[in-house]
């Protein structure tokens, strides 16, 4: 009898244990998982097409001598023009001394010849009106007047070649090593002018992204030497044909550069803004997890982490837009979410 009671007790105990360990057993939270939360907020978000390129000036030109002679750098605002000087279009930055050219120009002689021819023409014109000379004599005087004027202007042009001028406004970014009094030949490049108050960069865009690009779209540029400074430009040109080798399209972005912080030759990262949205519900990209092939996040409700399935929208480097699944003000888990399961009990740390 006693043996039977013991057997019944053992059987009941086993049944109880099996029942507790079966499918219907309640989940037991061993410890509360510490997490950090953040309120879901609204903000602005932009989607980019990114590429890289090299800054180029809007215009550049060589400084070239038109004549030969002994060079002397000019003075502007009581300061000699040097490398780095800002110059204006047609400004004289150097002068050449060439006595032979001066003699050949004969400026004063041709000026006097022009004045004499002008007086002779006026005299012949007056006589012709009175019948004192023939039309042929008047035409000859007129021809001499015109020829002498052209001769004088040619001499001025010849003399002006002794002035070394710049073709565009900008910065004298390069000046060859020339000593005052050195002899230089005609057509010698002595420097380079660049205007980079406005610059541009050409970037390559893939065939899959080119449909997103339009003229006038905003672009953000970052130079790796100035990582904390963002420059703004816009798309001004889009190539209509694809490059046969790189299989990409060339897109030109222009940037106003009044402080000239962006310099020609700088390598920059370019983010072309192809879509933007205001007042979007945003969460950090890293908190979106994939569970059962679905995008989910964890929010805290009544001290438990609850799984929320979400639909994603625009993405940038840090955030992602939530089209549905979250509301503004919900508390989303931003730290400690890696091991969470639905309805895990949590402790919210500040």
DSSP one-letter string for 222-273:
EETTEEEEEEEEEEEEE-SS--TTT-EEEEEEEEE-TT--S-TT-EEEEEEE
Cα→Cα distances 8→5, 18, 19, 58, Å: 5, 15, 16, 97
The token pair at 308 is: 């929320």
Identify the pLDDT of residue 339. Answer: 86
List phi, psi (to 5°) of 125: -65, -40
Compute the distance between CA of residue 316 and CA of residue 228 in angstroms, rounded to an integer.
17
Domains and CATH numbers, the chain: 28-44+279-349 (2.40.420.20), 48-57+196-277 (2.40.30.170), 64-192 (no CATH)
Cα→Cα distances 116→110, 121, 151, 331, Å: 10, 9, 13, 97
Query: Angle of helix 107-129 relative to helix 135-160, nearest 10 degrees?
Result: 160
User: Please, how many CA atoms are within 13 Å of residue 136, restricted to the half-sphere of its CB?
Assistant: 0
pLDDT tens digit at each of 350 positions of the chain: 455 544 445 444 454 444 454 444 444 455 788 999 999 999 999 999 999 999 999 999 999 999 999 999 888 766 788 888 999 999 999 999 999 999 999 999 999 999 999 999 999 999 999 888 899 999 999 999 999 999 999 999 999 999 999 999 999 999 998 888 999 999 999 999 999 999 999 999 999 999 999 999 999 999 988 888 999 999 999 999 999 888 999 999 999 999 999 999 999 999 999 999 999 999 999 999 999 899 999 999 999 999 999 999 998 888 999 999 999 999 999 998 888 999 999 888 76
H or E stretch covering 6: helix 2-21
Compute the distance between CA of residue 265 and CA of residue 51 in angstroms, rounded to an integer.
16
**Helical segments of 57-195, H only:** 99-105, 107-129, 135-160
User: Please, how many CA atoms are within 13 Å of residue 190, restricted to the half-sphere of its CB?
Assistant: 32
Compute the distance between CA of residue 144 and CA of residue 309 in angstroms, rounded to an integer.
95
Identify the pLDDT of residue 5. Answer: 45
CB 219 within 8 Å of CB 254 = no
Compute the distance between CA of residue 192 and CA of residue 83 in angstroms, rounded to an integer.
9
- Alpha carbon distance, N-terminus to C-terminus of the chain: 63
Compute the distance between CA of residue 266 and CA of residue 268 in angstroms, rounded to an integer.
6
Identify the pLDDT of residue 228. Answer: 84
Identify the pLDDT of residue 17. Answer: 45
CB 288 within 8 Å of CB 312 = yes
Identify the pLDDT of residue 227. Answer: 80
Identify the pLDDT of residue 78. Answer: 64
Q: Of 276, 280, 316, whose CA–CA distance to 43 is shortest? A: 280
Which residues have C-beta within 8 Å of that of residue 327, sequence separation ≥ 6? 40, 281
Full-model pTM: 0.71
Identify the pLDDT of residue 171. Answer: 94
* Ramachandran sector of residue 126 (left: φ over 0; alpha: ψ -120 to 50; beta: rest): alpha
Identify the pLDDT of residue 10. Answer: 45
Cα→Cα distances 140→112, 143, 180, Å: 18, 5, 49
């Amino acid at each position: 009898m006693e043996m039977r009671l013991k057997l019944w007790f053992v059987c009941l105990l086993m049944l109880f244990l099996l029942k507790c360990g079966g499918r219907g057993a309640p989940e037991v939270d061993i410890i509360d998982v510490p997490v950090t939360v953040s309120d879901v907020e609204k903000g602005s978000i932009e989607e980019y097409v990114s590429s890289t390129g090299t800054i180029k000036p809007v215009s550049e030109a060589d400084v070239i001598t038109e004549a030969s002679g002994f060079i002397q750098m000019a003075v502007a605002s009581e300061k000699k023009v040097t490398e780095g000087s800002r110059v204006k279009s047609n400004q004289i930055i150097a002068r050449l001394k060439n006595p032979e050219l001066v003699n050949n120009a004969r400026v004063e002689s041709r000026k006097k010849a022009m004045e004499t021819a002008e007086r002779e023409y006026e005299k012949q014109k007056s006589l012709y009106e009175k019948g004192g000379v023939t039309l042929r004599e008047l035409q000859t005087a007129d021809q001499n007047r015109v020829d002498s004027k052209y001769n004088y202007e040619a001499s001025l042009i010849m003399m002006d070649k002794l002035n070394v001028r710049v073709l565009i406004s900008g910065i004298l970014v390069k000046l060859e090593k020339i000593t005052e009094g050195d002899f230089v030949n005609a057509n010698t490049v002595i420097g380079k002018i660049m205007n980079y108050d406005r610059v541009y960069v050409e970037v390559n865009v893939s065939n899959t992204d080119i449909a997103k690009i339009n003229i006038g779209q905003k672009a953000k540029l970052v130079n790796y030497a100035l990582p904390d400074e963002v420059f703004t430009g816009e798309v001004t040109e889009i190539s209509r044909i694809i490059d046969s080798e790189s299989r990409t399209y060339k897109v030109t972005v222009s940037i106003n550069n009044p402080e000239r912080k962006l310099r020609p030759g700088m390598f920059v990262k370019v983010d072309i803004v192809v879509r933007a949205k205001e007042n979007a519900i945003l969460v950090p990209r890293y908190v979106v997890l994939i569970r059962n092939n679905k995008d989910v996040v964890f929010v805290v409700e009544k001290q438990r982490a609850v799984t929320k399935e979400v639909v994603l929208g625009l993405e940038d480097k840090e955030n992602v837009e939530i089209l549905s699944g979250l509301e503004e003000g919900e508390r989303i888990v931003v730290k400690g979410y890696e091991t969470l399961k639905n309805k895990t009990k949590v402790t919210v740390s500040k």
